[in-house]
Structure 1
């Protein structure tokens, strides 16, 4: 796959596991012909975008302490203590107006100075297992054919780690070569495009995404509207039964087929809210379709 274009979703389709064992197999060679030992070969820029993330950023940066050669925080106008937290950890702090998720993520990648980028959201943190896998990787020289590494993401929801349903493993490419990588997409749910193979890293990104179910539903409504606008702009149409059919399928997939019921009442709530979000997406799209026909 060297030289081909890949997005994050490809990571779940058969990449090789890359943990401590694989890292040793890659073992690099120093100038004397032996193992490079603990010498850092993979140099990393941690890249984070923020807006009023004082409550989350410290946890994120603590999980990365001593792991990367630099930390870049690109802010879009925080009025809380986000900047103070970033400076506490020695991060490079830059402020730019908000141009949208995709463009801001590309902006922060453009500010990175190292060859590899570890892209995190402020409400995420590295699990101990994932940190160890990255530490092992830093002592190796990955083949030139490898463009990125994927990792699973585990959501902390209502005081429980969610390990089933639509939310897990949610494997994403978050560590990748800076050169030739960029984000594409619409108003929300951007995707990473890169060149080369994708390997898997052991361990999880810990995602502290929602304060409670009310916060969850508020974001569902926001994302549903952004999705509907993107779908309308792309010429997508929604039939009269589309909200009901897509919503029902999402619930069955998340709660039954992917084992969401194993996460107890949290699994039920997640599946139900996800289904409501999908229903809302297609209902909003129908409204936009109808408004477009009226104005035409």
Structure 2
């Protein structure tokens, strides 16, 4: 059986860390890269003998995850998030897949999306998936993505049959705060592309995002939660351009002060 490195990046994951570490009992080592948590994340992690702890300032998700990959000792890697739970059926499938000397170099895992402890079957979440199992030598996160990071696989990508449980947030405010942090990082990405926001970005794109989640992706079938999720994602799209505009304003102000 080939050995496995289970990777995780954290910041104040006290409420999730124990579940993750218990789920990762299949791994031969657990690499935890923490962004200087101020809660009990580190205290809890240190009670697990397989954990190898690194603390590092957070710049963006891709950079932090690529650093974690570099610390892995073994070729096969699993890289789940702290708010994801690995059911026994998925864990067994992962182990059997690696044991079978598969020809694939990376695997997508579909996610069952929970919001306020309710499963959302629609709202754009029905086909949600991410690469969570892969070979170290064939995969890296794309450096041009600061948020919603994507694996770039130099090989064959397949998918696993069993789903993981994705426990997102227990309140709308908690989810809004997370989306806001994503919007700020996305704004930085857009600035690097020199995008100038206009009416289309501020009004049309957010409206379409709501329509896409709530109507096209059947969010209305998820009831109140479907509406809330659709609205939060629409607000997140608008916020990215608000933050982008603030970046340009700050740059213009610095230029004026420099020339004064």
Return closer, same or farther for 1:288/1:95 CA change in 2, 3 Å cut-off: closer
What TM-score do the two structures reach when normalised by structure 1? 0.79
| CA deviation after TM superposition for structure 1 residue 194, in Å | 1.6
| CA deviation after TM superposition for structure 1 residue 287, in Å | 4.6
- Correspondence for 1:162: 120
Q: Does 1:241 align with 2:200?
A: yes
- Partner SS, residue 153 of structure 2: strand
Distance 1:205 1:158 in 2: 17
- RMSD of Structure 2 on Structure 1 (CA): 2.0
Return closer, same or farther for 1:128/1:259 CA change in 2, 3 Å cut-off: farther
**Bigger relative CO (Cα 8 Å, ≥ 6 apart):** 1
Q: What's the CA shift string for 1:48-99, capped at 9, x where partnerless?
A: 111221211111122222x122211122222322223223332122223333
Pick the aligned partner of 1:93 from 53, 75, 80: 53
Query: Runs of 5+ in structure 1 lacking a partner?
Result: 1-39
CA contact (8 A) 2:65 2:141 kept: yes
Distance 1:138 1:288 in 2: 46
- Correspondence for 1:276: 235
Q: How many residues align?
A: 253
CA contact (8 A) 1:163 1:169 kept: no
Distance 2:247 2:63 in 1: 25
What TM-score do the two structures reach when normalised by structure 2? 0.89
- Correspondence for 1:26: none
| CA deviation after TM superposition for structure 1 residue 290, in Å | 5.8
- Partner SS, residue 160 of structure 2: strand
Query: Runs of 5+ in structure 2 lacking a partner?
Result: none
Return closer, same or farther for 1:179/1:284 CA change in 2, 3 Å cut-off: same
